[in-house]
Amino acid sequence: MAVVTRHLDVRGAGVVVPLRDPVFVAEDWSMVDRLTGGRAGIAFSPGWVRKDFALGDVPYDERGARMLAAVEAFRRLWRGESIERETTAGGAAVLELASRPVQPEAPVWISVVDDRELFAEAGRIGAGVLVHVLGQPLGELRDLVNAYRDAWRPTGVPARPHVTAVVHAYVAAEGEDVVEIVRPAFASSLRTYASMWLGSLVPTGADDADLADRDFEFLAERAFARALESSALLGPAAVVTERLAALREAGVDEVGCLVDFGLEHALVVEGIRRLAALR
């Protein structure tokens, strides 16, 4: 992707940086920036799936603070500054990037769903927000975006508040039944999401095995209906155009279209072509 494209930005959509060393993340994405000629960007996440935190020694309740510290370290390294670390061999080491990026400042987003404080924190550190729109009413999204913009402090890139919404997308051809086409894939992706969601809420080891198939089917149907009626870009071109206007009205600056949620490859390609025609 980095070397065969010329115009597309290449972004990481949610690096759970409390579980990754920001020095390695900065080194990796500096190289991506060089390979793309300055088109790299990255979204950071505090993480929310409890099982993931078996992979490191970061206390789950400290993940938000650890993310903010990591973002600051990442930005310093990207700018060409150095950071100092204690070594296990004794003494300290001064660390800096071996490969300098093209962009003087890294475009940074914070990945979020509906956490009002995290929206505001993204504003306070001058980052963009990458909001995952999963069927929540657009009025609620507008309130969260307003909290973000009210808290904004210009400290990096983007240079002004920037809201990117990640939304399920399939632009149907005339006469296609979008519900029949999209529902099975959408429901399957929601089952995966629900399993992770349970893992974030239940610290006792319970998982999706504790829910019957009919429970998942009910949750999937409700979520699909909400997405279809409120925020998702699912339907013919006229419906998707109206939905894009509603997202703009809610304060969204950019839409990231989630097209790979389980549809057949040919449908995805045709949907992307019809989506591109709406620009």
Strand partners, 85: 93
Q: Read off the pLDDT band of 50 (50, 70, 90).
A: confident
Predicted TM-score (pTM) above 0.75: yes
- Prior bond of 104 cis (ω within 30°): no
Q: In whole angstroms, give the CA distance from residue 137 to residue 161.
A: 21
Domain ranges of the chain: 10-276
pLDDT in tens, 25-41: 999 999 999 999 999 99
Mean residue pLDDT of the chain comes to 88
**Do 261 and 189 touch, CB atoms closer than 8 A?**
yes
Mean pLDDT of 137-143: 92
Count Cβ neighbours within 10 Å for each residue of 221-236 and write b for 16 or more, e otherwise: eebbeebbebbbbbbe
The residue with greater pLDDT, 174 or 221, is 174
Q: Judge contact between 188 and 201, C-beta under 8 A.
A: no
- Report CA 35 to chain centroid distance, whole Å: 22
pLDDT in tens, 184-216: 888 777 776 665 555 455 555 545 555 556 666
So what's the pLDDT on residue 213?
A: 64
pLDDT, residue 6, reads 86
pLDDT at position 214 is 66
The whole-number pLDDT of residue 203 equals 52
Question: Under CATH, what is the fold of the domain 10-276?
Answer: TIM Barrel (3.20.20)
Q: How far is CA 43 from CA 182, 184, 273, in A?
A: 27, 29, 26
In the chain, what is the straight-line distance between the N-terminal and C-terminal CA atoms, in Å?
22
**CA 70/CA 56 separation, integer angstroms:** 15
pLDDT tens-digit map of 214-258:
666 777 777 788 888 888 999 999 999 999 999 999 999 999 999
Taking the C-alpha atoms of residue 92 and residue 220, their distance in angstroms, rounded to an integer, is 52
Rounded-to-10 torsion of CA 122, 232, 181, 193: 40
